[in-house]
Homo-oligomer: A and B are copies of this chain.
Amino acid sequence: MEENVKDTVKQILTDYLQANKHRKTPERYAILDTIYSINGHFDIEALYHIMEDKGQFRVSRATLYNTIILLIDANLVIKHQFGNSSQFERAYNNENHHHMICMQCGKVTELQNDELLKAINDSKLNKFHPYHYSLYIYGICNKCSLAKRRKNKQINYREK
């Protein structure tokens, strides 16, 4: 992630905090900076440990939860909900992409498809104001489907 993206989101946060009369705490900037150092998805627990380990700055889980809500409201973070815990990713300068989720192993693969984006953008949502969208395609990834085929063969063999 280039530095000027970090500077830009920092500025967006500053503007947002000012506009909403929230305080500019070092925790909030540290969390934003860490998030924009992460490629792909993360959950609160992962974020907590990244900040603790790489850790110039340690913040409590409670603050992470609070701050994430604020960053989502500022359009700087997007929330996903696959798996057990909520997953997040940065929103600024992050192209809208789709997710393929393996129902077997839980692996999440990102997918880029412009026609699909166009179709979504062209959808009529009557009076609903969209901020962002997430397409989750659930299925079986190649690796698991090969493993499954192998397993089935064994079962068939055993039954003969």
| Residues of chain B within 8 A of A109, CB atoms compared | 128
Task: Select A130's contact among B116, B128, B137, beta carbons within 8 Å.
Answer: B137
Residues facing B in A23-62 (CB within 8 A) are: none
A133–B122 contact, CB under 8 A? no
A120–B135 contact, CB under 8 A? yes
A115→B118 CA distance, assembly (Å): 10
The yes or no answer to A103 lying at the interface (CB within 8 A) is: yes
B136–A123 contact, CB under 8 A? no
Least distance between A8 CB and chain B CB atoms (Å):
23
| Residues of chain B within 8 A of A156, CB atoms compared | none
Least distance between A67 CB and chain B CB atoms (Å):
17
Chain A positions within 8 Å of B, measured between CB atoms, are 72, 81-82, 98, 100, 102-103, 109, 111, 113, 115-116, 118-120, 122-125, 127-142, 145
